[in-house]
Amino acid sequence: MLQEYKTVKQQASDEIVIKKSRFIGHVKPVVTEEEAIAFIETIKKEHWSATHNCSAYVVGERDQFQKQSDDGEPSGTAGKPILEVIKNQGLKNVVVVVTRYFGGIMLGAGGLIRAYTDGAVAGLAAAKPIRQVLHREVRIAIDYTWHGKVDNELRGREVLTGPTEFTDKVTVLALPLAAEAERFAAWMTDLTQGQAQIELGEVKYVEHPVE
């Protein structure tokens, strides 16, 4: 699994108007090529009366699934510009469809490229680019006397945490970076003088803002 990758937070859309033509950028985060294809088909059905529904997607850890479609626009004027926007922004696991409702004024090849580029950019901005960063759950069971110290140390190091359970012991759920989880566990053992019961849990992606 990748330690980190950039994608979008949510499905969203935004619209721009260029020389009376409407360009609507639709964006969705996906994890499989099948999801990307299904989203494209959904937009085509929703906007069946549009002049064109041009699309592109990049999916996979190594960006191994990439596809673009001009959907009837002149070759290279729609799908390729959309794909280039995705790649230039460093995004993966994302699909973009730019719907065009023709406004009666021809844009020419250069104008189309700019319009589909701008439509994709608008849609991606609405979908809010984020970083997905790989973390690992670490459960720390400690006596109540250790809770204050452990809590302060976690805050000081800005370690992500989840819900804390209070039973006969205090169980803190920490979420260090996956690559640092074992070192984190060793540090926690030293911090509590070996009195913490530490369990390494699942690895999962956590959303972070784009810096």
**Adjacent-strand bridge partners of 132:** 5, 207
Fold of 131-209: Alpha-Beta Plaits (3.30.70)
Please say whether the dihedral angle defined by the alpha carbons of residues 107, 110, 113 and 115, taken in this order, is positive or negative: negative
Q: CA-CA distance, 18 to 38, in Å (whole number)?
A: 28
Helix (H) or strand (E) holding 152: helix 144-156
pLDDT tens figures, 97-140: 999 999 999 999 999 999 999 999 999 999 999 999 999 999 99
Q: What is residue 1's predicted lDDT score, i.e. its pLDDT?
A: 86
Q: Is the pLDDT of residue 211 over 80?
A: no
**Which residues of the chain are in CATH 3.30.230.30 domains?**
4-127
Q: CA-CA distance, 130 to 210, in Å (whole number)?
A: 5
Task: Provide CB contacts within 8 A for 152, sequence distance 6+.
Answer: none
pLDDT tens figures, 56-66: 999 999 999 99
Stretch 32-40: mean pLDDT: 98
pLDDT tens figures, 136-175: 999 999 999 999 999 999 999 999 999 999 999 999 999 9
Considering only the top CATH level, what class is 4-127? alpha beta
Stretch 67-78: mean pLDDT: 96
pLDDT tens figures, 198-208: 999 999 999 99
**Which residues of the chain are in CATH 3.30.70.240 domains?**
131-209
Tell which residue, 211, 205, 144, has the closest CA to residue 175. 205
Q: What is residue 156's predicted lDDT score, i.e. its pLDDT?
A: 95
Report CA-CA distances (Å) from 48 to 83, 99, 100, 161: 22, 10, 11, 46
Task: Provide CB contacts within 8 A for 41, sequence distance 6+.
Answer: none
CA–centroid distance for 129 within its chain: 6
